[in-house]
Structure 1
């Protein structure tokens, strides 16, 4: 070895010796997670601030002990509780003979199951973490306490074959529809002055909030019926559908058709040509009720904000109307706005 070559080797060794060692990363990292959840009558919507908001069809089937489950997925999760009971959510639930429809059940009593259905693992595998929840309900004064009591604390369950251990550290319950208002505010859709009337058209219900320029709700109305399920029920009795179908129509399947081309499942039967016969009175009934309730405030109303999973049915009727704004992706507007209430907009890593 030449003197020059030996000098280069020695220099490399000295450089390597001076390089500080990288300290080992702590192994007890905990992912602090925040989830916004909107348990609607048509969809369970959820958003963690990382990916696009997601939805699971709000229908489930409780499997008998002797019944094997059909295929499950993230869109149709299978939940198993500590007592062995199993609940299959989403579109796959239609493959069983009898399903439970959230639209005709008590959503407050289903709060835990809805949470479990919407809790996907982090990075596909991490299923143990503390959690902060942001929820909405039509009437927080009636249901916020019950929701909080159900959800706070430790939860252990199995979702799609993966064991979860969750510690819900905080539950924030907001008025349903106000999440959409916050999202619209961020998007510049709410004027700086005057009143805004939020009209949230859901699956089982529709509701309104009268909001002033400071964002305070000064009047409100929750209609426990009249959402898209009532519209679907009316259509399901029409002979033009039932005669061709050869049996009674399921309103929930009609609701599924509202999201597509107004076709009944895979039968090819459609009500699109005569939908307006039902849509017109349904639409007018909602807005006549709104005007009647808020008559004293109407001169000061500067925006009607139309949102909710059923608003796409009437969005085309409101195009070009100065006072009206329809949220983009209205089914996710509420859950996006709920998440914006969080001070953390993405997952963060901390050490215990």
Structure 2
């Protein structure tokens, strides 16, 4: 059936709505950050930590970067940096983020055209679509009613597309001309909780892959958390999640002036080598045909200096948001397929 419809684009040439007028939202719910992008401006991020408030507890202040979500049954969740102001926060990095897909969507659904009632198509990613895509669709598709930052939302999710994590970054890199037109590309996506690789041929087909359920920046943070040079001064054990925050804040521990920057390399060396030795072992038969290693993901900044100047390596600019940018661009292809069918 031919729909004969076209997508509407924003002033910057990015898809703003679908063929049916639905909002388009790309969602990359990572272990460190929830990244989202509607095609206008710059992608946004919310720290992937939350606190479930008891019924009798007032919430601290909320914002777009740290939203307060209330479900119809009265349960409330405070996301983002503000969650650190409560005791015993819940960290996505040590949980199954697929089971949290619905809550993560609510955290990222800002109002649209000054309205909190709209239809949306969601383009998401997961490390293992074969196992997780259907459960994510079941959670996300349909009508959702909730309160976000004091406003009542009524959102209809009309379509959910789930892609391999990391392939959005590959797609975005191809648009930027960073992927050679021949040979194989190995995408190395280093996140907060996991890291993964995809071996992609010149036609964009994944021909091999490896998903490590652990081993992302959280593993590096755990290693640092046991170092006596930190714990002896703190006088208590160090929280790996706070260390992860410090990776983006001059390697300091929370509001203290304690820093592990001077001895970071002692932990970073083994973490870095562990990742790339695994990559080399996984793809040894293909290496003669590899023309690009594309390194991306929210933890890439930790190793970018070590890859500078290496001929086959390209580190994505703004790597934290490369995947979600590419996911958003998928909507154009989907709408074209709908029109052509």
TM-score (norm 1): 0.88
- Distance across 2 between alignment mates of 1:319 and 1:340: 28
Shift of 1:32: 2.2
Q: Specify which of 204, 218, 233 is matched with residue 229 of structure 1.
A: 218
Per-residue deviation, residues 305-332 of structure 1 (Å, max 9, x unmatched): 0000111100011111110000011010
Residue of structure 2 equivalent to 1:348: none
Residue of structure 1 equivalent to 2:232: 243
Residue of structure 2 equivalent to 1:275: 264
Q: What's the secondary structure of 2:332's corresponding residue?
A: coil
Count of aligned pairs between the two proteins:
315
The structure with the larger Rg is 1
Does 2:183 match 1:186? no
Shift of 1:74: 0.3
Shift of 1:110: 0.6
- Distance across 1 between alignment mates of 2:149 and 2:212: 36
Contact kept in structure 1, 2:167 and 2:323, CA below 8 Å: yes
- Distance across 2 between alignment mates of 1:299 and 1:343: 34
Residue of structure 1 equivalent to 2:141: 152
Per-residue deviation, residues 164-211 of structure 1 (Å, max 9, x unmatched): 000000000000000000000000000000000000001110000000
Q: What's the secondary structure of 1:322's corresponding residue?
A: coil
Residue of structure 1 equivalent to 2:300: 311
Contact kept in structure 1, 2:112 and 2:118, CA below 8 Å: no
Extract unaligned runs of 5+ from structure 1.
Answer: 1-29, 346-352
Residue of structure 2 equivalent to 1:257: 246
- RMSD of Structure 2 on Structure 1 (CA): 1.2
Extract unaligned runs of 5+ from structure 2.
Answer: 1-19, 335-341
Contact kept in structure 2, 1:78 and 1:160, CA below 8 Å: yes
Residue of structure 2 equivalent to 1:128: 117
Residue of structure 2 equivalent to 1:296: 285
- Distance across 1 between alignment mates of 2:200 and 2:249: 33
Q: What's the secondary structure of 2:139's corresponding residue?
A: helix
Residue of structure 1 equivalent to 2:79: 89
Residue of structure 1 equivalent to 2:30: 40
Does 2:208 match 1:215? no
Runs (4+) of structure 1 exceeding 4 A deviation are: none
TM-score (norm 2): 0.91
